[in-house]
Amino acid sequence: MDIRKYLGLLALVLVAVLALNGRPADACSCMPSHPQTHFCKADYVVQLRVLRKSDTIDPGRTTYKVHIKRTYKATPEARRMLRDGRLATPNSDSMCGIRLDLGKVYIIAGRMPTLNVCSYYKEYTKMTITERHGFSGGYAKSCNCTVSPCFGQQCLRHREYSDGCKWSPFGKCERDYSACMPHVTHTVNGSISRCRWRRTQLYRKCLSNP
């Protein structure tokens, strides 16, 4: 058999084996995202209280009945969905489902039609002041600045540039205490606009005590 045909056949066999043995949880993999990115890409961003849940309304899904306390952002389609006060998620962890605690207040930034582990969801009481301010309006002013995940030495070069900032998923200071925002510098040659991490007091304190 021609060696190229043999290698091609071997590749097809390997693909078939991986497809048969792949775990459903593999589909849940998603790149870590900064809260600002979650806000800017979401179809809706709300503050809500979880009232009750049901596993019988929609087979294969857990449906949460929620009280929407505040809507920070929503597309027309998302507003229609939120009007019912129900959010659905797969009822299995292996299918990317999430679990919300009854009675708790959350900030959720989601994409339609369902919630999953790649959505942003966090208890309001566990959010930093910077995160709360960001979701209530701060991030909306920064969506023209892109937060790009980086790893290792990549994070040390050009951390801030004209239309975005680099961010290590392990960087809690940027995640919890800052946002990538447009900043204008006035020079003798005119004004220069570039994105940079906002130097809040809490951000500077975090950097000094990593």
> Was 40 annotated as part of a binding site?
no
Contact of 194 with 162, CB cutoff 8 Å: yes
Q: Report CA-CA distances (Å) from 3 to 13, 15, 81, 152, 206.
A: 15, 18, 56, 39, 58
Q: How far apart are CA 196 and CA 185, in angstroms?
A: 11
- The residues facing 167 across adjacent strands are 149
Cis peptide upstream of residue 32 (ω within 30 degrees of 0)? no
Residues annotated within the binding site for Zn(2+) are: 28
Residues annotated within the binding site are: 28
